[in-house]
A and B are shown apart, each in its own frame.
Chain A
Amino acid sequence: MKFDPTFRRVGVAFLSGLLLTASPVALLAETPADTLVVADAIDDIVSLDPAEAYEFSGLDLNNNTYDGLIEIDPATLGMVPGLAESWSVADDGTTYTFKMRPGVTFSSGNPLRAEDAAWSLQRVIKLNKTPAFILGQFGWTPENVDQMITADGDTLTLKTDKAYAPTFLYNCLTAGVAEILDKETVSQHDAGGDMGNAWLNENSAGTGAYVLKSYKPKEGYLLEARKGHWRGDAKIAKVLMRHTPEAATQRLQIEKGDVDVARTLTPVDIEGLTGNKDVTLQHDVGGQLFYLSFNQKNENYKNQKFLDAMRWAIDYQGVADTIMKGTAIVHQSFLPQGYLGALDDQPYKLDVEKAKALLAESGIKDPMVTLSVRNSADRMDLAQSIQNTFGQAGIKVELKVGEGAEQLKEYRARLHDATLQTWGPDYPDPNTNSSTFAENPDNADEAKNTGYLAWRNAYDPGDMKAKSQAAVMERDPDKRKAMYEEIEKEHRSTSPFILMLQQARNTALRSNVKDFYTGGAIDSAAYWLATK
């Protein structure tokens, strides 16, 4: 075949260009030695202001740039002193005194004062952003917060409206919303009375081990370690977070060594990375729970035998093993593993005969459940497994598949029949889940208590509500723990909720990376201990 010379020239030029550009020039195959490069999906971030940040990725970042009065030890997940070196509660149970740690400075160089702590907590209440309710539970309002939270010298005093369980307050003070800010620096960046909210979305002003150097939404961020941190300097000088939404891409990057940590992997990727000697897989739990709930506007779902029949008609272990494949573990109570009072026993398993017998006892003939489920692959698979095992027990299930936000709207309006959902705790205290699963202040439609899962399912928990409210006031930690255990046992055997699974986290680390902590179910990621 003869080619026109023009084709030959064009062809040669193109191939030469391709070879030139495709040659492996300037590829830095390994990550910089002083930098921890993390791949994660971080497009959930709404704000980096601690008073507003409420999403996992933002809380992870802030955990490394700010400190709270009380901290969680990343390794043991136990409570430890943070910016307060000690604290006490008065006999009346409503006055708490915190002594501030001396010699601590903010990243600006300003010294930490009790005044900064008071201002930071007052600011949360005054701004009233989404996570403000965590602190608002102690009776603090924009009108009274200046009197309830006060500073004097190196002492911070917090007054609460009732004598709550001290552990309740302490746990809430470990939440991201209670991080302490540099009052002087943030105040200089007030824009139209926003108390520095806009500025804090791009800058940090804390005492944390790292300083935010740059943040590009949906692209990533860069943290740089500070010198002279009160807890000891961070082991690694920089942390570069790269927003990588696709799990398969994260897997390729960790295999190649282009990132040190990959945090959003699918079961397929985990399976593919198993046995790779360059990569270590780290397993721990997250706080998210998978549950089924049934709207009690349908009278069938008030029938305890019918609810029991459904509890015995789910293959809990089977779905954890074959569908979730390491991304969830079986968990059957509303407090996730790691929380005070969490029950780790598993009283229910798949027993089709028992489910059939209970269904017969319930007196409900040919029951039909319309199960709303989000259109994501794992939820659909989970729902289909439930549909299958319910079917074996004689309970017909129709799946109503829809987009997540649409389904949430339906759920919040109490328009569902049954739904497959997830729930993540808001702060590291058992009240976070107990109040929503086991309390319902007013079951009327017009009450619109959408923040309570019990209300969404038209469920009146009866005296369980009083028990839950008593537990949040119990000052003895051991008694408090026992109270939650009792509530959970009652809840899982009588409520229209079936708790099934708890999220498991699988983090892939290059084998030279050590001491990377994700925070488990109760805290956020800690970068300052990591080495490579």
Chain B
Amino acid sequence: MEQTDDIGGSGRFWPALREFGEAVATLLVTFIGLLAVTFIISRVVPIDPVTALIGERATAQQIAAARAELRLDEPMIVQFGRYVWGVLHGDFGTSIKTGRPVIEEIARFFPATLELSTLATILGVLVGVPAGVLAATKPGSIADQVVRLVGLMGYSMPVFWLGLIGLLVFYGTLGWVGGPGRLDAGYDMMMDFEVTQYTGMILLDTALNGRWDMFANALSHIILPAGLLGYLSMAYISRMTRSFMMNELGQEYITTARVKGMPERRVVWVHAMKNALVPLITVIALSYAFLLEGAVLTETIFSWPGLGRYITDALMVADMPAVMGGTIVVGAVYIGLNLVSDLLYKLADPRART
């Protein structure tokens, strides 16, 4: 028996190791591909970063000197090799525009996006999943029509318009929420000097510092953009939840459960939801990744210093180290969430564990 168990353990170990190896290899290949594509695009765009940087009056000599300083005069393959080597050592290069390390800038901008997207996704899931289930359990009802209509509006209304209207109504007219930016001016000045910043996420940092006045102020600022993005996320999640649940509720095992007299709540939330959850995890992960990529328009309207705005601003001035750094982070987010959703599949669906 003991020997059999050992053989069994070894039998589980090698496939798991192989699976892990495959995952790592996939991750590496994806990263190198991402780096290569981003690098090539950055070099073929018809915008000269040097001219964009040093202005119209620069002489040919100054342009040549700047080009040499940025090492743009080296062969492309050498530049790429140097870039990959740097990234592997945590060096994303220096922003052409600000002269600061890209990794430091991303460390400043990404937490703002992470905070906003996480709250938006939580709101989207909290409303979207129950709304989708409600619509699926009562198809054709008024509740179903409302959920579908609200979802459709989320799909079809431009986000910049919704953002501006939201600001006008809830901030400008009603005064229920804070305005653009992450804090009011008074708190904004205190943030750097009175709060230890552990994560760069203001809600977390102010809570960890026990600064509940600042926490409440930050919450009043984030609630509107997070609510807006959460609404868009909700529109997608509720629609997909409705579809997945309707599919499950039409299955024979659901009829069997009902015939056996199982309470409807258990039929819906335990049996049907358990199976709908597998594709739903992908939907939520994709929606989350989309928001983490940065909602550029929302960040612009709400003066939110997030990753999407960072990449877009950098792109506008051909600050390619910044664009590439941001793109790698976005790629890493997608890959990371893909791994997490794979893991969650296995927890939700025993068949995926083999």
Contacts and interface: CB of A to CB of B under 8 A. Distances in A.
A261 to B, nearest CB: 12
Interface residues of B, number: 72
A193 interface: no
A231 to B, nearest CB: 25
Contacts of A309: none
B180 A252 contact: yes
Nearest to B46: A406
Interface stretch (A20-28, A60-68, A335-343): A20-28
A43 B48 CA distance: 19
A463 B137 CA distance: 86
- How big is the A interface, by class? 35 or more
A35 interface: yes
Given A23-B176, A451-B59, A240 B303 contact: no
Interface string A37-52: 1000001011100000
A238 B192 CA distance: 15
A4 B265 contact: yes
A220 B134 CA distance: 46
Interface in A42-88: 43, 45-47, 54
Given A217-B100, A240-B185, A258-B184, A26 B58 contact: no
A46 B100 CA distance: 10
B15 interface: no
B184 A130 contact: no
B contact patch SS: helix
A426 B185 contact: no
A85 B48 CA distance: 44
A12 to B, nearest CB: 12
Contacts of A1: 138, 141-143
Interface string A2-19: 011111001100100000
A248 B56 contact: no
Given A32-B185, A245-B303, A256-B172, A25 B216 contact: yes
A5 B203 CA distance: 32
A432 B84 CA distance: 43
Contacts of A322: none
Interface in A203-261: 214, 216-220, 222, 238, 240, 242-246, 248-249, 252-253, 255-256, 258-259
11 contacts: A7-B134, A10-B126, A14-B126, A22-B223, A31-B185, A201-B98, A244-B181, A249-B167, A253-B180, A405-B317, A412-B56
Interface of B: 46-48, 51-60, 62, 65, 95, 97-100, 105, 108, 126-127, 130, 134, 137-138, 141-143, 164, 167-168, 170-172, 175-181, 184-189, 192, 213-214, 216-217, 219-220, 223, 264-265, 268-269, 300-303, 305, 309-310, 313, 317-318
Of all A-B residue pairs in the complex, the 8 with the closest CB atoms, nearest first, are: A26-B216, A28-B184, A217-B98, A405-B47, A26-B217, A37-B185, A25-B216, A130-B54
